[in-house]
Amino acid sequence: MSSQPITTRITAAEDVAGQIRAYTLEATDGSELPDFSAGAHIDVLLGNDLIRQYSLCSDPAERHHYRIAVLHEPDGRGGSDYMHRQLKAGDELKIHGPRNHFELDMSGDNYLLLAGGIGITPIMLMALQLQAAGKPFTLHYLCRTPEQAAFRHWLEETFGSAVEFHYSYGDAAKRLDLRALFSLQNQPTRVYTCGSEGLLQAILDAAESLPDIEVNFERFSAAPVADDAVSEAFEIEIASSGETLQVGEAQTILEVLQDAGHEIETMCKEGLCGSCEVDLLEGEADHRDSVLNDAEKAEQNVLMVCCSRARTPRLKLDL
């Protein structure tokens, strides 16, 4: 069930902001890379079981290369540290092709794009797509300092007055007033945002009482589990065979399926990438992923087996 990885070569590695390095990747055989749209990410295979997801930030029309940008987090989980310390131009890198769970809906009439730090990578392509379509938008880029704003000069040259930079310099009083920004919108507005969990929560809080503000987002890390969430044991049924498996309180569905010999594609194991999505035929899942939106979760048609659990005693999976 695993997709075949693509072997690429790093043709450029350049610092684009403080602690942020952009990598340009080309297929080693010279072929065009799979197409993608704004909001898509690729899985980067770093060896030693390190697989990380990075948003694409190159022009989708330029199929001969991909570009990603990586924030160096020395105290993180190891992926960014490996890339910054070990990888350079000329090195080969295996990737899995693009997936997109952060698609830009072009049916709106007004857009606000909000990026925090490295979260600019999917957002800048959305701005490019909106600009090409003649859609009204403003891109707000929130950073601590100008030196931490990746692609700053390109953004200024490409979008002009449609991009606004907000630098806090570590002072909470200098942060963008989200409530005021949303209140200024005089028509239904689609908000697309990518950034830290703190920024996302501030945006959701500011928009909560404003029905004309629709927030669409992508997370950097796994969604926080609700304080009242309970991890109880439950059963899963395999539709093709009728096999029934027990999922213990401390187990994931993915672990149980793999232990039983089922091949499930998985990359992040955190509910971020969507690679382990499985169709749900019966039962109600307790969705704990950051891929599905609220409407999709309510439909109860699919679930991410790496992190989701059950609200009913049994789930029937289309496997």
Q: What is the pTM of this model?
A: 0.81
Contact in structure between 28 and 68 (CB atoms under 8 Å):
no
| Tokens (6 digits) for 250 | 């401390």
| Tokens (6 digits) for 175 | 């942060």
Segment 267-289, tens digit of pLDDT: 777 888 788 999 999 999 999 98
Segment 88-109, tens digit of pLDDT: 999 999 999 999 989 999 999 9
At 124, the amino acid letter reads M
Cα gap 114→131, rounded to integer Å: 16
Q: Cβ neighbours of residue 187 under 8 Å, at least 6 residues apart? A: 109, 110, 212
Contact in structure between 187 and 110 (CB atoms under 8 Å):
yes
Please, what are the domains in the chain? 6-99 (2.40.30.10), 111-219 (3.40.50.80), 234-317 (3.10.20.30)
Q: Of 230, 197, 214, nearest to 293 (Cα)?
A: 214
Segment 50-83, tens digit of pLDDT: 888 999 999 999 999 999 999 999 887 788 999 9
